[in-house]
Amino acid sequence: MNDSQPLDDELVEALVAEATDDYMDRAQQGQEPSIEEYVKRYPKIAGILRGLLPAVRVMHRNDAQSSGPLGTLGEFRLLREIGRGGMGVVYEAEQMSLRRRVALKVLPLAAALDPRQLERFRLEAQAAAHLHHSNIVPVYSVGCERGVYYFAMQYIEGRSLAEVIAELAAGKAGQGGGRSGVRVDANSVTSTQVPAAQPVPTSTSSITEFVRNDPSTPSQNRKENKDKDNKDTVEILRGAGTTQWSTDETTHFRRVATLGIQVAEALDHAHAMGVVHRDIKPANLLVDSRGTVYVADFGLALLQGDSGLTLTGGLAGTLRYMSPEQVLSQVGIVDHRTDVYSLGATLYELLVLAPAFGATDRNALLQQIVRDEPIAPRQRNRHVPVDLETIVLKAMAKEPTARYASAAQLGEDLRRYLEHRPILARRPTLIETALKWSRRHRTFVAAALVVLLLTSVGFAVSTALVARAQWNTRQAFNRLAEEQSRTKLAFQAEAQQRAKAEQSFRQARRAVDFLTEVSEEELADKPELQGLRRTLLAAARDYYQDFIDHSRDDPTLQAQLVASYVRFGAILDEIGSPADALAALNRARDLQEKLVRKDPMMPELQAGFFSIYSRLALLRGGRQLSLLVQKPVQDDLQLTPQQRSEIERLDTDRRTALASSGHLTVEQWRKRFEELAAQDKSLSELLNSSQTERLRQIALQLRGHDAFTDPEVAAALKLSPEQIQKIRALRDEARRSLFATGRPGDQRAEDWKQAREGWRKISDKIVGTLSDEQRTQWQAMTGEPFKGKLRTMHRGPGRPWHGAGTDRPDASNASLGSVGPLPAAATPDDRSPQETPPQDETLRSGPAPTHNQGIEQRPDKQEKPAKPEKSGRVESAR
């Protein structure tokens, strides 16, 4: 090296590499090697090293920042890194002006976020900073220093519930799953299960594996950490040193309830301030050595944005505790009740030390969250108190409305449990369980059950309405009598009465909503159950009509009133009164606009708009259009190529308009309504008069004998009241015989066949009762039998109130077969023309004298005899 010969390039390269490697190795070990030293050691390449080594140090240092002094950020002196998450790094730091210790969450990658996201984060973080509650990690300040976003929180000496759960679960497993009291030493558990909880400064290989000298913790979500007191925390959860968790489960359960109360109260406070956490999970709940819980990271969930649902967001970490509506990304309807759900899921896991939904595959997990009821905690550990189970399951209800309405109510029920008072949550009633069940098992048994239920629910509905009416009267009466001596007792009795009436009222409402849903969605594709379906819908229609009559002037019920109008309209549409349906929906829209003006931010209102809007779209051109896009119809109408392409364009437009949602203003919604109306116009201009007429005929044919119940048809045919009654009787009779046959598929298959034949013949029979004049008229109205095969999709009104976004085309009914690939039209936004024509009826819907020719019977060779034979005219896509 002291050789004065010039070196060849290769040697220089080798030397430079050697010197640099050595320099870096030492730097990595925490030394500050001097450059001069290397210059002396490698004189031949001294010049190079002088230029190169500082550069290498700059590059190298970037990784090594967390070794040695960390430096400062604003007025914070960074002491050590205590955790890393997807978005940021948490440091223990000292706020120099106040000389206090803080946990500083730094978002160095904030620059990668888009400005809108950042702005949202800033607003939310500021809102969170205004939360003052003893169970919320106080946010001291939020700021941005040289492009680095940070916020300073109180430094909590504690650990997250995620760690605690892991440890308890490990302890439990260590005991062979039993509940006997082998004590697990907290330290040993800590060292094997949670190595990061070790003192940090000594860099072990496990810690410096990737980021050199970076004492980051492996636990992704740890926001706060510390190297002592872990044992204490576990002790607290175990039972404050006196009772061990493992030996006294009762104590554990009560402790869980205590934790739950604290979190619920914290959440309630935040909700009252308009802040929803959105990411409640064990990892975000910190417990200190006194057993106090702190909710951390308010407002941060927003930062994850959509990625919360992707791998980057922490597949199981976050997803596992997300509410169904959050998982489904139902924009606009995720509100504070999502926190209630997540807290429920967290408590569940604390109770049984296993997650409520344990799927290990992302999609399976999503499915579980959206579809499956969690296994009852008591099935996992029979020692879990019934009340706690009830509370947790209520908090975790799939439907936000079925959960506790507020975190406070959840907390209150937990308190009741602790105080041995009766809790308010009810275990799901038989009806609810049955409905849930029937939703999943679409069988005749279920349908029959629904009929039975309907009877009782109908009773409950009227009782509730009566009670409500009575209450109103009584209230008026009482106001008059107020001056007179009204005893306190009487007052209380009344309040109780009122609460009771209100409660049964709400329950009835829910039951009817549910029933409507069942009949709309579950029964839609059971042709032989159409009668039942109609009965249910008619009952529901009457209920909604009653509801509307009763609540029209009640300011507290306006939102429900809108929902009722929507459902009412949907049902009217369904059972063939489009004009009335349109009126109901327009009414809903007007009311809705009024409500939105009053409170534009209410998320349900947006969803409500959407359902009104989609429903209106269908009522207007949509139905016609969905018929027109089908090739057999186009052929029948002999459309020109230009007309066809124009129709395709309109269809695309309509889909596009329906597809997008999001937060729109009343004006934007209006504009959409107008666009829709404009579309109707161009549609009606598109067809010539004979085509329009023919389309009407086809539509009428497809409605089957239902058409006869349509007031418009009745008027056109000049049906006499006697005839109408006769028609109704015929339909009823056929329906009854259909039901009397019992379940198809068994020995009574013959009866079943007969009954079905009877059902089919109704159209013939009805036409038979018409006068000659009427029959001619009917033939003129229906025209030649439509010969094409159509796909029909039973798009029920869906679940109007939760917005069309949740609707899904159900293509599961593969046994109907022979349709070929599901047409592209089967998108959620598509509302097909024949909403619910029962196929069998449809077959017979042609003009009576000729209809028989069109039918080609297919032997019923399906393994599911429940399906009626399909015949040629109309195929169902679902």
Residues 344-403 that bind another protein (CB under 8 A): 359-361
The interface with another protein within residues 563-582 (CB under 8 A) comprises none
What letter represents residue 850's amino acid?
A: T
User: How far apart are alpha carbons 319 and 308 in whole angstroms?
Assistant: 7
Work out the angle at residue 85's Cα, subtended by the Cα atoms of residues 80 and 91, and round it to the nearest 5 degrees: 20
Backbone angles phi, psi at 614, to 5 degrees: -65, -40
Q: Which stretch binds another protein (CB under 8 A): 106-114, 553-561, 728-736, 844-852?
A: 106-114
Nearer to another protein, 21 or 712 (CB): 21
Q: Does 44 bind another protein (CB under 8 A)?
A: no
What minimum distance in Å lies between the beta carbon of 54 and another protein?
5
What minimum distance in Å lies between the beta carbon of 12 and another protein?
7
User: How far apart are alpha carbons 376 and 475 in whole angstroms?
Assistant: 42
Contact 244, 238 (CB under 8 A): yes
Q: Which stretch binds another protein (CB under 8 A): 310-318, 449-457, 639-647, 757-765?
A: 310-318
Q: Does 859 bind another protein (CB under 8 A)?
A: no
The interface with another protein within residues 216-235 (CB under 8 A) comprises 216, 218-221
Q: Does 145 bind another protein (CB under 8 A)?
A: yes
User: How far apart are alpha carbons 827 and 652 in whole angstroms?
Assistant: 12
Q: Are strands 100-107 and 139-145 parallel, antiparallel or unpaired?
A: unpaired
- Residue 505: which residues within 8 A CB-CB, separation 6 or more? 464, 465, 467, 468
How many residues are recorded in the chain? 878
Q: Are strands 285-288 and 293-295 parallel, antiparallel or unpaired?
A: antiparallel
Identified binder of another protein from the candidate list 1, 55, 480, 601, rule CB under 8 A: 55
Nearer to another protein, 51 or 274 (CB): 51
Q: Does 112 bind another protein (CB under 8 A)?
A: yes
Q: Give 618's DSSP letter.
A: I
Identified binder of another protein from the candidate list 79, 169, 186, 211, rule CB under 8 A: 211
Q: Does 65 bind another protein (CB under 8 A)?
A: yes
Nearer to another protein, 62 or 689 (CB): 62
User: 200, 158, 164, 161: which is closest to 184 by C-alpha?
Assistant: 164
Q: How many CB atoms lie within 10 A of CB 499?
A: 11
Identified binder of another protein from the candidate list 96, 111, 424, 451, rule CB under 8 A: 111
Contact 508, 464 (CB under 8 A): yes
Q: Does 855 bind another protein (CB under 8 A)?
A: no
Identified binder of another protein from the candidate list 147, 641, 662, 820, rule CB under 8 A: 147
Q: Does 62 bind another protein (CB under 8 A)?
A: yes
* Ordered alpha helix ranges (H), 360-518: 362-371, 377-380, 386-395, 407-418, 430-440, 444-481, 488-517
What minimum distance in Å lies between the beta carbon of 10 and another protein?
7
Q: Which H or E run includes 142?
A: strand 139-145
3-class secondary-structure state, position 826: coil
Q: Which stretch binds another protein (CB under 8 A): 72-80, 333-341, 656-664, 733-741?
A: 72-80
Q: Give 836's DSSP letter.
A: S
Q: Does 304 bind another protein (CB under 8 A)?
A: no
User: How far apart are alpha carbons 93 and 118 in whole angstroms?
Assistant: 24
What minimum distance in Å lies between the beta carbon of 57 and another protein?
9
Q: Does 302 bind another protein (CB under 8 A)?
A: no
Identified binder of another protein from the candidate list 30, 43, 69, 849, rule CB under 8 A: 69
The interface with another protein within residues 164-183 (CB under 8 A) comprises none
Q: Does 56 bind another protein (CB under 8 A)?
A: yes
What minimum distance in Å lies between the beta carbon of 574 and another protein?
43
Nearer to another protein, 21 or 674 (CB): 21
The interface with another protein within residues 185-204 (CB under 8 A) comprises 195-196
Q: Does 59 bind another protein (CB under 8 A)?
A: yes
Backbone angles phi, psi at 784, to 5 degrees: -60, 150
Q: Which stretch binds another protein (CB under 8 A): 46-54, 429-437, 447-455, 850-858?
A: 46-54
For 41-59, letters b (16+ CB in 10 Å) and e give ebebbbebbeebbeebbee
What minimum distance in Å lies between the beta carbon of 690 and another protein?
51
